[in-house]
Structure 1
């Protein structure tokens, strides 16, 4: 399958593609300012995955169950929790049943697989939405055991899906598989949202608004992501054979934001360099895992720096750095257009937007204290499930499955380019001896 074939001639991305690719930032309201969706009928949901992304942890703000509880109130009925780790799933379910949201979970059943649930499901338990928060190694493929999207489409045609990002962390030769899944989702007009929540930030939508209202063409995007590696204690994250590496697993958010502003990337133009673990500048002093347990060829780079061209002619760059200690990350995205610069800082915790406009050399600073993009992406999904009318001002999905596959392909292109550069450098060094 060629690049043009798998991308297709239609780049709109989903069955609801006539909606605008942005949201009026004034419509993104805090969770505590939203009233529950009206109606007396139950809203059945299936959770796939009983980990941190679904039920929260001290490591980050993610917690999809919490947002759904606030969006749907007493209407929420989690009919099934799917996770092969039955004990973990039972434990998190018990905590919910011991809390004020017991009505959503008191009849929840736990299963190892989706097929187990399907075999015993009653008509009253048919879900209206399925939330997929299982690890990405089990998604985005047609290979049995890693094909959860196809299982859902087969057993629950017409049921909306929410899929966490990245859509997969499989081998690069399975990208075509992901595009095929995207085509099925589009062709069946299945409502599907992927968890690139930074698109739902008020600051990001304000940047979009400035671009649209002033009819601007983006000239350049510059992204930087420096993680606090000392706090990353999950061995799989440090192992490329399991996580696919920091660009694909972690930097994906900023690659996605770059695409969101710059447009489609000319994949053939991607170039990248890396600082590897064995190089002198790549030695880290505060790692919380024992990297000697990871095969040397699977250890992650410490720095990856990439540049590329967009189809529009604009230029993009991204640098991912594994360098900071402590717990706070340092992340920024700059967008430039004729007369304008916009810089988004600290988007994960307390977003700050710096704007410079024509006629003023000074920057305007806007701070966003009460934003919750996790809630906004869930809220928009539920609103679309409840009311699919094509109102251009209505709720909309900002990251379709097709769009997410493009970001996935892009992150793999960066990793591949950095590894080609690394191998060429190693070859030159060997030949010089």
Structure 2
């Protein structure tokens, strides 16, 4: 059985800060694009690092134009004000298209709108199709998960995107981390065949006070909304999943082990049938014969999550701990029972995914025939497979309860 083949990230890519003006639109004026104090998401920060003085943000699209104007005013008072001096705010993509012409026409669009507006064939979930209609040759960076709607519709959206040939990436940033790429490098160097993946993700829920997150009708549940990154990493190492092989069990909110002592939300506001599970345990087979498993839990207090992914191959154990905050890689290899430890500091995988996407945009702008190796690691069509996989786990756990 041949080892899993991968494209690897050009993590050390240099910022493309010299050259012609680079025009960009942000869709969504929330935390994904402009950041918060609570988390690392902030695409505008990474874009500013990547393109530097070349950056010209021509538009911010958000139905809440007051929010867009607020974020724009903050940028104009900061050290990157020059990049936003020509920025206009728009309620829709169609409105942006009416005004952005000539030197203001965008080269790229970053989509940070909530997933309920994405991945569908009909309004209000047809954001990508609206972009393809009004800006058909423009590169896109789209946040994960690709949608909260039917995966069949997202699959069709992916096909339409692929036909354009535009550089389109989806934000599964952990694929770009130095630790993950070190694991991929070792697998390729040693010509290893992955035998098993084992993922564990346990949330610290005490500070989770957004009631929407506890409602499956809004967030689709913790596997689809939160564990999606670890489902995607599992696929990155193991390959495509046989969806009909997925089995799962859950600890539900109304079972004795599912009682939580430090909830700071009123869960009675959520209909009983839509309340999230406390733990989900899943297993499956990949199409190449490899096996995989995932445990996701809502159980810890304070703020730090527990996250770990282990990959087994003949003679090797690769264990990645805390990839979000303090990535540490433990490697056991043949002829030694001891694990060697590697730490990865000052690694911004959010920047790496934006940087790699930018490299591909520049390549196409220069009319080069062959794609750069190690660029976009998560295409839209591949991200749809991760979305289908997360739903397969959720539905399997719900069947087992019934």
The match for 2:7 among 6, 22, 31 is 22
The match for 1:71 among 30, 50, 55 is 50
Indicate yes or no: 2:26 matched with 1:47: yes
Q: Which residue of 2 aligns with 1:431?
A: none
Stretch of structure 1 that moved more, 111-120 or 245-254: 111-120
Indicate yes or no: 2:167 matched with 1:191: yes
The match for 1:166 among 141, 145, 166 is 145
The separation in 1 between residues aligned to 2:164 and 2:332, in whole angstroms, is: 44
The separation in 2 between residues aligned to 1:394 and 1:98, in whole angstroms, is: 38
The separation in 2 between residues aligned to 1:119 and 1:404, in whole angstroms, is: 31
Q: Which residue of 1 aligns with 2:291?
A: 315
The match for 1:178 among 145, 149, 154 is 154
Indicate yes or no: 2:122 matched with 1:143: yes
8 Å contact 1:248–1:412 — kept in the other structure?
A: yes
8 Å contact 1:36–1:70 — kept in the other structure?
A: no
What root-mean-square deviation, in Å, do the aligned CA atoms of Structure 1 and Structure 2 show? 1.5
Equivalences, count? 396
Q: Which residue of 2 aligns with 1:105?
A: 84
8 Å contact 1:247–1:320 — kept in the other structure?
A: yes
Q: For residues 20-56 of structure 1, what are the alpha-carbon distances to aligned partners after superposition, in whole Å with 9 as ceiling and x for unaligned?
A: 83326xx4239xxx444321x2100110001111111
Indicate yes or no: 2:327 matched with 1:351: yes
The match for 1:229 among 205, 222, 226 is 205
SS at match of 1:212: helix
1:387-426 equivalence runs, <5 A: 387-388=363-364, 389=368, 394-423=373-402
Q: For residues 222-276 of structure 1, what are the alpha-carbon distances to aligned partners after superposition, in whole Å with 9 as ceiling and x for unaligned?
A: 0000011111121111110010000000000000000000011000000000111
The separation in 2 between residues aligned to 1:199 and 1:56, in whole angstroms, is: 21
Q: Which residue of 2 aligns with 1:203?
A: 179
The separation in 1 between residues aligned to 2:250 and 2:227, in whole angstroms, is: 14
In the TM superposition, structure 1's runs of 4+ consecutive aligned residues that sit over 3 Å from their partners are: 388-395
Q: Which residue of 2 aligns with 1:240?
A: 216
Indicate yes or no: 2:121 matched with 1:134: no
Residue 391 of structure 1: how far off its partner (Å)? 6.1
The separation in 2 between residues aligned to 1:126 and 1:381, in whole angstroms, is: 19
8 Å contact 1:142–1:177 — kept in the other structure?
A: yes
Q: Which residue of 2 aligns with 1:119?
A: 98
Stretch of structure 1 that moved more, 369-378 or 105-114: 105-114
Stretch of structure 1 that moved more, 262-271 or 102-111: 102-111
Q: Please, which runs of 5 or more residues in structure 2 have no aligned partner?
A: none
1:337-348 equivalence runs, <5 A: 337-348=313-324
Q: Which residue of 2 aligns with 1:327?
A: 303
Residue 129 of structure 1: how far off its partner (Å)? 0.6
